[in-house]
Structure 1
Amino acid sequence: MISVRLPDGSIRKYNYPVTVADVAMSISPDLAKAALGGKVNGKLVDTSTVIQCNTDLSIVTDKDPEGIEIIRHSTAHLLAYSVKELFPQAQVTTGPVIDNGFYYDFAYHRAFTLEDLKKIELRMKQLAKKDEPVSCRVVLRDEAIHYFQQINERYKVEIIESIPPLEHITLYSHGDFTDLCRGPHVPSTGKLKIFKLMKLAGAYWRGDPKNEQLQRIYGTAWASTEEQDEYLYMLEETEKRDHRKLGKQLDLFHLQDEAPGLVFWHPKGWTLWKQVEQYLRHRLDEANYLEIKTPIIMGRSLWERSGHWQNYRENMFTTESEKRDYAIKPMNCPGHVQVFNHGLHSYRDLPLRFSEFGSCHRNEASGALHGLMRVRGFMQDDAHIFCTEDQVIAESVAFNALAMSVYKDFGFQKIDIKLALRPKQRAGTDDIWDRAEQGLREALAVCDLRWQELGGEGAFYGPKVEYHIQDALGRSWQCGTLQLDFVLPERLGAEYVAKDNNRCRPVMLHRAIIGSMERFLGILIEHYAGSMPLWLAPVQVVVINIANNSSIYSNNIVKSLKKQGIRASLDLRNEKIGYKIREHTLKKVPYLAIVGEKEHDTQTVAVRTHGGVNLGVMPVKDFLDYLHNEVRVFK
C-alpha cells in the first residue's frame, strides 16, 4: 500500500505504484487535464514519474510559478524542434528558461533573419497543435554520447563529455526530436499554446568570447493570452520610456565610445541633476548631517588597511606615480573614516553624521554597461554615521523615516525591504557578523517593517538593508542601503573617548538613499516617461509669442518668472504657433504660456499644460501663484 499526502493534508492510498498523472486523475479529470508536472517530496518532476513509496505530492498546473517554468522550458525545446525541421543543418546547443521567457542558441552557417523567425514561430504552432506526447528516457553517459554523435550534434556531445562517466543522462523526445535535458517537461506539446518569438542576438558558446559565436533566439511563453498581452504591453511601454532614447529626445545627456560608462550631461540634464542634488542637500541639512569632501584618488596602503584592495581589487581603477600605487575610490567609506580620525572625539560628539556627494569609479565590464543604469563613474548621496552601539537602532529608525519620505517626494509609493547577509568572502569574525545582522533585524522590527533576507549578498565588511523602489511599470530598483559595520572602524583605527575615559570603537552606519545619482536619474526619467513633475522639470515654462509685436511683453514675462525662481525660456521664432506648441509638447515642458495681441493688450497669458489642457487666460501674477502652489523650490 502506497500513501500519497496532498498539500491539504489529505492522504490517498494506492495498492500499486502510480504516476503523478494517475494521482491527478484520481482527484479529478479536470486536474488531470491541467497537470503539467508534480512536486514529489519538494522535487519538481514529470507527470509520468512513478511513485513507488509513501510520499508528499502536489500537482503542478499553469497556476503555479513552477508550471510556468515548465511551459517555458518545454517551449524552448519546441523552438529547437522547429529549427531542426526547417534548418536541418543547424546545430542545437543550450536553451534555458529566463525571466518571462526562454532562449535557445544555435550554430548555423548563415545568420537567421526576422523572416526566418516568423517561419520558426509558425512551425512551432503547427507542431504544438499536433499534441505530440513528450517522453523521457534515462540512458548511460556513453550511450547518450553515441546517440548525439550519430545525429551529428557535436555541441550536445561536448556537454555530455563534461559529465562524469557512469552518470545517467535524461533524454526528452517528442515527434522526431530528442534533446538532452534534466526536465521536467509538459506531458504533450498541446499544452504549449501561448508563446511568441521576440528577437535574435549573438552569443558565444558557453559564454566565452574565445569560443565560436552562436545565434540566440529569444522567446516568451505564458499560461494565458491575457498575461502575454500584458507582458508585451509592458515591453512596449518600457521601450517608450527608455531613458537613453528620452535622454536624446529631451537633450539631457549622451554617452560616447571615448568615455565608456561615463556621462556627458547637457544643460537640461544638468539642471535636472542639480534639482535632485539641491533637494537632497536640503533634506540632509534638516537631518543634521555635516557635508564633507574627500579625495578621489588615495594610496594603496589605505585601501589595503580598509580591505578593499584584497576584496574589491578587480573593480578598482588603479594608477601609479613616483613608484607609489594609488586607486581611484570605488566608494567613499575609507575617506570618511580619515575625517573622523582627524581629531579625538568624545562620546558627547556622537552620533556624528558625515555626508558627501562623492564621485566614485568602478571598473565594470564593458558588456555590463547600460546607459545611466550601469556606469563606471557615478556620484553617490553617500553618508556615514559614527555612533555607539546603543545608538544604532535610533539612527536606523531616523534614516528609515528620512529615506521613505524622500522616496515619497520623488513619487515612489511602494518600497520593498531586503536584508543582505554575510557573503563567503568577508572581513571580521562570525561573532561580529552575528551582532551586526541582529542589530539590523532589531532596527527593522522597531521601524515596523517587513523584510526578505538574502543570504550571502551583504558587503564584505557588513550586512545591509536594501530599499527597492517600484516604478510606474511595477519594476523594482534597488536604490537605498543601510549597512552596519563593526569591521572598518577596527581596521582603520577609529576611536572615541567613552564616559569612563577609555578609548572605544564607534559603530559605522553606511547609508545612501538614492545610491548612484546617475542611475536614480535614469529611473526617474523612465518612471515619469520624461514628463517630470514641475519641481524637477529642467524647463518649467516656455513663453511662446504669436506675433512679433508681443515679443517685448513675452520677454518681460520670462524675466518675471525667473525672478520668482521659475525655470522659464522664451520662443520668439518666426514659426506657426501650432508647430511651436507641438515641439515643446514633445520636449515635455510642463506649461506653455502663449502670448498674442489679446494677451499683450490685457497683460495676461493663455496657459496650456503639457497634456494639452487649456487652463485659460490669466494675469501673470495669477499664473505665478498657480505655479508656486504646485512647485516646491528648495533653497
Structure 2
Amino acid sequence: MSMIKVTLKDGTVREYPKGVTVQQVAEDISPGLARAAIGGEINGEPVDYVTALESDVELSLVKFEDEAGKVFLRHTGSHILAQAVKRLHPEAKLAIGPAIKDGFYYDIDTDHSFTPEDLEIIEAEMKKIIKEDHKVSRFELPRDEAIDFVKKHGEDYKVELIEDLPEDAPISFYQQGEFVDLCAGPHAPSTGRVKAVKLMSVAGAYWRGSEKNKMLQRIYGTAFDKKTDLQDYLDKMEEAKKRDHRKIGKEMDLFSIQEEGPGFPFFHPKGMVIRNELENFWRYEHVKRGYDEIKTPIILNEDLWHQSGHWDHYQENMYFTQIDEGNYAVKPMNCPGSILVFKRKMYSYRDLPLRMGELGLVHRHEMSGVLHGLMRVRCFTQDDAHIFMLPEQIKDEIIGVIDFVDYVYKMFGYKYHVELSTRPEDSMGTQEEWDLATEALREALDARGLAYKINEGDGAFYGPKIDFHLEDCIGRTWQCGTIQLDFQMPQRFDINYVGADGEKHRPIMIHRVIFGSIERFIGILIEHFAGKFPLWLAPVQARILPISERHYDAAKVLKQQLAQAGIRVELDDRNEKIGYKIREAQLQKVPYMMIMGDREVEENKVNLRSRDRGELGAVDVDELMASLIKEIQEKQLPQEA
C-alpha cells in the first residue's frame, strides 16, 4: 500500500495510506477534533472534509472559529437559503450566493417581492433543512453536460456563469438532498453542521453589479455553529443600530446627505467643531514630527493621471471635466500633486527625508447602492502624507509612521490589528522592486514587534502596503490607516535628489494616512462613542441650566467666563423645569451640565452633573474651569460611572 506524509499545523508529520480523507486524519488525531472540524486546508487551499489526500501535503484542520471555517459554514448557509427558496418558490431563478464577512447572501430572480414576513417563512424552512441533516457532496460534469444540466433546471444565470468559465476549468456542483447548485465550494460536511441561522434583510442588487442588468433580490443572512454565538451577534447588531452614525448625526445635528448631492456630505456647525478639532490635532502632531503641510488643486490635467498610472488602473473611479478645451480630472488621490510640489526644486540628500502632509479633498465615483452615510461617500478628505527619502532611511521612516499611527489610535482608545498586503495582479513595476518594497515593510513590522497577517494580492497598484484595522467598542473593525511603499511614482515622474557623490539619484516614496478619511473617521467615532464624545471633541462641552429667571444674570456671567477660557458652552434660559432641561442636555450628549440656583449663585458654585458619571455635587467655579481645561488639554477619554 502506497503511503503519504501529512504535515500538520503544529509541524508534526504522520504517515497515512494514499487516498486517506481529511476527515479520517481528524478522526485519527482525536474524536473531539473530528466532531469540531468541518473541513481542511491542503497546502493553504481550502478543501472539503471528504477530500482525499493523494500525495505528501501540509494539512490544517479547519473549525468554525477559524476564518476559513466561518466561510465553509456560511457558504453552506447560503445553499440552505437557496434550497428553502426553491421549495417555497419553485419558479425562482438563482444567481450567486457567496459567504461574506459575518454571513452570506443569495441573489434571486422572482416576480414575488420578498417581505420581512417572507423571510420568517424562508428561515423556518431553512431550519427544517438543517434538521434533516442532508449530506453535502460534490460532483463534476464536463462543460457541455453542465450547461445542459442547469438549462434543464431553468437556471439561466448559471448557464451564463458556466459559459464565462475558462474552457479547461472544472465544472463542479454541490448537492444536499434534492437541491443541486453550481458551486466551486468548499462546504460544511452536512446541513446539520449549521446549528443556528438568521435571515437579516432583503435588498436590490443588479446582476453582476451592472446597472445595465436586471435588478435581483438579495437576501442576507448569517450562520453560526452555536445558538449562543448567534444571539451574541444579534445583540451586537442591535447595539450597532443604536449607534448608527446616521441616526446620531441627525439627532445631534452634525451632518446630512442632501438629495442634491448623493454621496457628498454636508457638515453642520456642530459637526464642523468635531472636524476642526480633529484637523487641529492632526496639524499639531505633524509639526511635532517634522512634517510640512501643503495644499494641492482638486482638478489637474488629464495627462498627469496618464503619467501617474491612475488612467490605466483607476479610471472607472474618476470624474472628468473640460477646461479651455483641455481634458482634466478631479483628483481621486493626492500623491501626484505632492510629487509636483517635490519636483519644483532640486533637493540634496541632506534634505531627506522630506515629509509633506496634506488634508486633501478627493473625489471617487461610487455606485449609488453602496453609499452609506459618512462611511462610503463620493468626496472625502484624506489626511495624506508623502515622505521622500533615501533607501537607507526606509526602515526608520516606516517605524516612525507605525509609532505615529499607534499614538493616534490609542488617543481614541482603539485597539487595532495589522495586515501586510502584497502585489496585486493589476500592478506596475518589476517583481524585484516589489520584493524589495515588501521586505522593507516586513522588516519594519518585525523590528516594531507587531503581529501581522499577510493579505496576498491586495496591495496598491504602485506598491505593497501595511493596513491598520482598528476595533471599536463593540468589536467591529474598520480599515483606516495605511502605509504604502512606492518605487514606481518616483520613476514615472522622474524625480531626483543630488547625492553625496554629486550625482542625481531616485528617492523612495511612502504614501500614508492615519485617519484615512476625515469623514469616515468621524462616522466611526460617532458609533464608537455613541455620540458621547470625549470633552475635547464634544461640539458643546458644557451647558448652563439656571433654575429660574432670577438666576439668568449670574448664568450669563458664567457663560462668558467659560467662553473666554476656550470652553464651548451653551446657556439654556428657556422657561422650562430643570428636570426637562437636564433630559434635553443628556439627549444631546453634553458632557457637563451646570445647574444654578440660589445657593450656587450666592457661593459662586454650580451643581455639576456629568453625562457619564451622574451627579457630582457642588463645585467651585474656578476649580471647575481648571478641571475642564485640564481634561480638554489632556484629551482624556470619557469615564463611565
TM-score w.r.t. structure 1 length? 0.90
Structure-2 residue corresponding to 1:354: 356
Partners of 2:86 and 2:278 lie apart in 1 by 54
Structure-2 residue corresponding to 1:585: 586
1:621 positional shift: 0.9
Amino acid at match of 1:279: F
Structure-2 residue corresponding to 1:568: 569
Structure-1 residue corresponding to 2:98: 96
Partners of 2:253 and 2:50 lie apart in 1 by 59
The secondary structure found in structure 2 opposite 1:558 is helix
Structure-2 residue corresponding to 1:381: 383
Amino acid at match of 1:336: S
User: Which stretch shifts more, 339-348 or 158-167?
Assistant: 158-167
User: Which stretch shifts more, 611-620 or 504-513?
Assistant: 504-513
Structure-2 residue corresponding to 1:210: 212
RMSD: 3.1
* Contact 2:4–2:54 (8 Å) recurs in 1: no
Partners of 2:261 and 2:195 lie apart in 1 by 46
Partners of 1:129 and 1:85 lie apart in 2 by 15
1:17 positional shift: 6.6
Q: Does 1:402 align with 2:391?
A: no
Structure-1 residue corresponding to 2:71: 69
1:5 positional shift: 5.2
Partners of 1:440 and 1:12 lie apart in 2 by 39
Structure-2 residue corresponding to 1:505: 506
Partners of 1:343 and 1:51 lie apart in 2 by 62
1:120 positional shift: 1.5
Partners of 2:29 and 2:393 lie apart in 1 by 58
* Contact 2:468–2:482 (8 Å) recurs in 1: yes
Structure-2 residue corresponding to 1:288: 290
Amino acid at match of 1:575: E
* Contact 2:5–2:14 (8 Å) recurs in 1: yes
For 1:63-462, list aligned pairs within 5 A: 64-160=66-162, 169-412=171-414, 414-462=415-463
Amino acid at match of 1:399: V
User: Which stretch shifts more, 227-236 or 556-565?
Assistant: 227-236
Partners of 1:334 and 1:238 lie apart in 2 by 38
Provide closer, same or farther for how the CA distance between residues 357 and 553 of structure 1 changes in structure 2, counting only shifts above 3 A. same
1:242 positional shift: 1.7
The secondary structure found in structure 1 opposite 2:543 is strand
- Greater Rg over alpha carbons, structure: 1
Amino acid at match of 1:508: M
1:134 positional shift: 4.2
1:466 positional shift: 2.6
1:368 positional shift: 3.3
Deviations 1:332-374 (A, max 9, x none): 3333333333344333333333222222222333333322122
Partners of 1:164 and 1:427 lie apart in 2 by 26
The secondary structure found in structure 2 opposite 1:515 is coil
Partners of 1:427 and 1:163 lie apart in 2 by 27
Partners of 2:457 and 2:169 lie apart in 1 by 31
For 1:467-482, list aligned pairs within 5 A: 467-482=468-483
Gaps of 5+ in 1: none
Partners of 1:342 and 1:27 lie apart in 2 by 66
Q: Does 1:608 align with 2:609?
A: yes
Deviations 1:282-317 (A, max 9, x none): 112222322232332222343344443444333332
* Contact 1:424–1:456 (8 Å) recurs in 2: yes
Provide closer, same or farther for how the CA distance between residues 344 and 140 of structure 1 changes in structure 2, counting only shifts above 3 A. closer
* Contact 2:193–2:225 (8 Å) recurs in 1: no
Structure-1 residue corresponding to 2:639: none
Deviations 1:561-584 (A, max 9, x none): 111111111111112222221111
Amino acid at match of 1:363: H
Deviations 1:592-622 (A, max 9, x none): 1111222223221111111351000112112
Percent of pairs with identical residues: 47
Partners of 1:40 and 1:188 lie apart in 2 by 20
Amino acid at match of 1:497: V
* Contact 1:381–1:513 (8 Å) recurs in 2: yes
Deviations 1:215-272 (A, max 9, x none): 2222111111222122112212222222111111111011123222222110000011
1:429 positional shift: 4.2
* Contact 2:5–2:55 (8 Å) recurs in 1: no
Partners of 2:410 and 2:105 lie apart in 1 by 38
Deviations 1:52-78 (A, max 9, x none): 788776655545544443332222222
* Contact 1:2–1:54 (8 Å) recurs in 2: no
For 1:22-37, list aligned pairs within 5 A: 34=36, 36-37=38-39
Partners of 2:385 and 2:514 lie apart in 1 by 9
Structure-1 residue corresponding to 2:540: 539
Deviations 1:103-153 (A, max 9, x none): 222222220121111112112222322334445554444444445444444
TM-score w.r.t. structure 2 length? 0.89
Partners of 1:358 and 1:2 lie apart in 2 by 64
Amino acid at match of 1:556: V
1:160 positional shift: 4.4
Deviations 1:543-590 (A, max 9, x none): 111111101111111111111111111111112222221111111111
User: Which stretch shifts more, 282-291 or 388-397?
Assistant: 388-397
Amino acid at match of 1:623: L
User: Which stretch shifts more, 202-211 or 570-579?
Assistant: 202-211
Partners of 1:160 and 1:59 lie apart in 2 by 31
Partners of 1:293 and 1:352 lie apart in 2 by 16
